Chains A and B, each alone.
Chain A
Amino acid sequence: MDNAVYLSVENVNLAFGGTQALIDVSFNVSEGELLAIIGPNGAGKTSMLNCINSFYRPDKGRIIFKGHDLTRLSSHRVAPLGIARTFQNIALYTGMSVLENLMAARHVHMNHGMIAGALYFGRAQKEEVENRIVVEEIIDFLEIEHIRKAIVGALPYGLRKRVELGRALALEPKLLLLDEPMAGMNLEEKEDMARFILDIHELQGTTILLIEHDMGLVMDIAERVIVLDFGLKIAEGTPDEIKNNPTVIQAYLGEEFGASPPDVVSQ
Chain B
Amino acid sequence: MSATVEFQNVQMSFEEDVLLKNINFQIHKGEKFVLIGPSGEGKSVLLKLMAGILKPSEGKILIEGHDMWNCLPKDRLALLRKMGMLFQKNALFDSLTVGENVAFPMREITQKSEQEIQKQVKYFLQEVDILHALELFPDEISGGMQKRLGIARALALEPGIIFYDDPTAGLDPITSRMIVELILRLQKELNSTIIAITNDMNRAYQMADRMAMVVDGELIITGNVGETQQHKDPRVVQFIHGYLKGPLTEHTEVNA
Genuine A/B complex: no
B residues with a Cβ closer than 8 A to A are none
